[in-house]
Amino acid sequence: MSFSGILAGDVMSFEEAELIRRRAEAFLRNASRLLEEGEYDLAVFNLEQYCQLMLKYKLLIKKGGYPRTHSIRRLIRELEPFSSEISKLVDDVHNLHYVARLEEAYIASRYLPIVYEESEARDLLRFVVEVFKPLVEAV
C-alpha cells in the first residue's frame, strides 16, 4: 500500500486514513448484516457510506486530502489522475446507474420517502462488492 500522498512525518493523516478505511469496511459489513435482517433502506445507505469513505481514504493516501463532498461521482473524478480504470465507474453508463443509485441513497435516507426493495439492495451490494470495490482497491 502506498501512502505517497501523506507526508512521512504526518502521523495524524496516517491515523485519519486508517480510521476512514476501518469505518468504510465496517459500513460494508453492516450493509450485509442489515440486508439479511430485512433492513433494505439502511443496508443501501451503508453501501453508500462504504463507497464514499473508501474513495476519501484513497484520496487521502494519494493526495493528502479530499474534498468535503458527499458526491461519489466527484470523488471518483478526483481519483482519475491516479487510475484510468476508476473512470469505468462513471464513464460506463451501466456502472453510472449504480453510482447514481448509491448517491441517491445518501439523500433519500435523510429527506425522501424512498423505500428500497430487497432485490434492489442485493443488486447494489453485488455491484459494490464485484465492481466498485475491486476498481477502488486497485488505485
Give the pLDDT of the chain (139 residues) as one tens digit per residue: 444 444 444 445 788 899 999 999 999 999 999 999 999 999 999 999 999 999 999 999 999 889 999 999 999 999 999 999 999 999 999 999 999 999 999 888 777 778 899 999 999 999 999 999 999 999 9
Backbone phi and psi for residue 70, each to the nearest 5 degrees, phi listed first: -105, 0
Within a 10 A sphere around the Cβ of 4, how many other Cβ atoms? Answer: 11
Would you state the cell numbers that stand for residue 49, as one nine-digit string? 457510506
- The cell 507526508 sits on which residue? 7
Question: Got the DSSP string for 40-52?
Answer: HHHHHHHHHHHHH
What is the CA 87 to chain-centroid distance, rounded? 14
**What is 11-137's CATH superfamily?**
Nucleotidyltransferases  domain 2 (1.20.120.330)
pLDDT of residue 6: 46
b/e code 29-48 from CB counts within 10 Å (16+ = b): ebbeebbeeebbbbbbbbbb
Interatomic CA distance for residues 7 and 137, integer angstroms: 21
Within a 10 A sphere around the Cβ of 100, how many other Cβ atoms? Answer: 13
pLDDT of residue 106: 86
Distances (CA, A) of 55 to 11, 32, 34, 36, 116: 20, 20, 22, 26, 24
pLDDT of residue 17: 92
pLDDT of residue 27: 98
pLDDT of residue 3: 46
- The cell 512525518 sits on which residue? 9
Q: Is the pTM value of this prediction over 0.85? A: yes
Cα radius of gyration (the chain): 15
